Structure formats: C-alpha cells, structure tokens
Amino acid sequence: MGCRLLAFGALAALQLLAPAALAQEAAEAEQAKPTFNEVEHGGYAGGEVGFLLMRGPGGGKGVATGTVIGVSLGYDFAPWIGVGFFGLAFDAAAPAGYSGLGDGSTQGDYSGLLPGLEVRLHLPIADDQNQVDRLFLNLGVGGGVLFYQPRGLFPGGHSAAGKADVGLEYFTRLRHFSLGLALEGLGALPRGGQLAGGSLSPFVRYSF
C-alpha cells in the first residue's frame, strides 16, 4: 500500500512539474535563437560612379564635364553618425584652349585625386511595414588634399580641398547592402586660383 501511495505521489509530482519544465525549455530555446539587425549600422565600405561638372581656374575658363569615381571606408558609431576615409578620382574634359594656371604651353583636359576624411549624418525619413527604418537622408562633409594632373596646368601639383554632399540611401532587404544617389560639391584652392565642381552619383554600400 505504501509503495502504491509513493508511486502515485511521484506520478502526480511529475505531472505538475512537467509543464513548468517544458515551458522553461521553450524559453531557453527561444533565447538561444540567433538574432540579427534587419538594417546593419557599423563598419561600411562603398563605391560610387557619377557625372561631373567642373569649373577650373586660370586661362580659358569654362565648364568641364567628366566622370568621378569614389570609394569610402568607415564606421557608424550610431545609426545616425559615422566617420570614415574617402577617395575621389575625376577626369574632366576641358573647353578648347583651357590653359589652367600654367604659362599657356600646356592646354587641355585635366584630372585629380582627392583622399581625405569625412563625417556623415544619417537621418531616417521612411520605414517599412515592420517599422524598420530603411530610407535615410545623408549629409556629409569632408576634406583632404587634391592632387592634379597634368602639372603644366596646375604648377603647384596639389592643394587643400573639401567636399559636401547630400543624398538618399535605401537599405535593402539583403541586410548588408544599401543603394543610393548623392549630389556632391567639391572645392579646392590651387595656388593662384579656385576650382569648384559638382557631381551626381549613384552609389552602393556594404555594411557589416
């Protein structure tokens, strides 16, 4: 009789404890599931290619047209601000007779390479059906040293330069990839003149 009562008590205890144990196991399994951010903010690497308008200093002034290629590598300390390195390279087809800041013996097209540092702000302006911010307004400023070619048009060879840009960036559902379009202004102070230009560039970035 005593054995039966003991067995019955043990069975009743198991029936009471089993649901609690199962609930605890389910909670632990839920916590163990991998989590991820639908939009990644952290390190990033990107590239752009765009159309350029440039007004150079010196003789034969006029608006040059060309292309610009850019790369960037940086880190977002928060979803709304980041810092990084950038590099811009451009080729400009100058108006006929353009002699820049040289003595006139060299005329024609020119190019430049600008490495530097930048600060970027990311302002969310639209989210998706899950309230995940995906579309951002980007504002950026940066500066560095612009190196010119050919030296015959820009005898100094290099000068301080800065840039500012505004653009739209959309974080796709591929998580790490974003696409965008940026309007960028560029200014430089070669010895003896001023150079100014602007570009419109689509870009792609990978965030990690």
Q: How confident is the model at residue 160 (pLDDT cuts 50, 70, 90)?
A: very high
Contacts of 185 (CB under 8 A, 6+ apart): 163, 164, 165, 196, 197, 198
Whether residue 163 is found in the same domain as residue 189: yes
Whether residue 71 is found in the same domain as residue 124: yes
Whether residue 22 is found in the same domain as residue 102: no
| pLDDT for the residue 25 | 52
Q: How confident is the model at residue 19 (pLDDT cuts 50, 70, 90)?
A: low
CATH number at residue 92: 2.40.160.20
Whether residue 171 is found in the same domain as residue 74: yes
Percentage of the chain surpassing pLDDT 90? 57
**Structural domain count, the chain:** 2
Whether residue 22 is found in the same domain as residue 108: no
CB atoms within 10 A of CB 156: 13
Whether residue 74 is found in the same domain as residue 116: yes
Whether residue 153 is found in the same domain as residue 189: yes
Whether residue 136 is found in the same domain as residue 186: yes
| pLDDT for the residue 146 | 97
- Which tens digits make up the pLDDT trace of 43-65? 999 999 999 999 988 866 779 99
12-23: b or e for each residue (b if 16 or more CB lie within 10 Å)?
eeeeeeeeeeee
Give yes or no for residue 29 having a pLDDT over 60: no
- Segment 5-18 mean pLDDT: 46
| pLDDT for the residue 47 | 97
Mean pLDDT of the chain: 85
- Gap between the Cα atoms of 122 and 52, Å rounded: 24
| pLDDT for the residue 9 | 47
Q: Which domain holds residue 99?
A: 43-207
Whether residue 54 is found in the same domain as residue 86: yes
Whether residue 177 is found in the same domain as residue 105: yes
Whether residue 24 is found in the same domain as residue 76: no
